[in-house]
Chains A and B, each alone.
Chain A
């Protein structure tokens, strides 16, 4: 049973570029949440998708956007990249938008030069 899978695992971009990260939730899960983990810090909530809609959003600018597809997979898009966007981006899935226990993927490490 595959858990949460994320792609790509690593990528390097330059300032001003745009990036798309992808996530497939664990089988049976219908909710996807995205987190940003900067070096030496804990994961910070970006947003959550359920039933193809953004249900909750953390304190992140509009440059961060997402999408959820009918098969529950999700994408995270970041526009106009800044150096400070360099981080590990974690996708987590769960059952229902109110679930407390999340299953995380291994993350996508983004480096912005």
Chain B
């Protein structure tokens, strides 16, 4: 039962360009969405989140967009930096129940 899907296992972008990571979900009850970043040998770290009552949330170089009708969210990183190279997980929850994670997208930012 995979309620959160990240269909792109990897993404490669040039330094300075925009990185767009996508995530789709199937459960319309989800009301809170998050992005986590994971470096090798470390646990996932929280990056940015968005509530279902919003369609955009911005934090510095990172912006998350939510399209509820399409059950789709995306993470934009502008400009991308080599230090952004990591695995990015999309996660969703509802009524503070257990959080569901996607399989992750490995982002590589080339200098």
Contacts and interface: CB of A to CB of B under 8 A. Distances in A.
B93 A106 contact: no
Q: Is the interface of A mostly helix, strand, loop or mixed?
A: loop
A56 interface: yes
Given A101-B34, A104-B45, A43 B89 contact: yes
Contacts of B97: 56
A41 B103 contact: yes
Nearest to A101: B46
B4 interface: yes
B49 interface: yes
A43 B46 contact: no
A41 to B, nearest CB: 5
Interface stretch (B14-22, B36-44, B63-71, B77-85): B36-44
A106 B42 contact: yes
Interface stretch (A69-77, A79-87, A92-100): A92-100
Interface string B54-98: 000000000000000000000000000000000001010100111
Contacts of B104: 41-42
Interface residues on A, range: 20 to 34
A42 B100 CA distance: 8
Interface string B20-41: 0000000000001010100001
Interface in A1-51: 4, 33, 35, 40-45, 48
Contact of A42 (B1, B32, B96, B102): B102
Contacts of B11: none
A90 B44 contact: yes
Interface of A: 4, 33, 35, 40-45, 48, 56, 58-59, 90, 92, 97-107
6 contacts: A40-B103, A42-B4, A42-B103, A48-B98, A90-B44, A104-B36
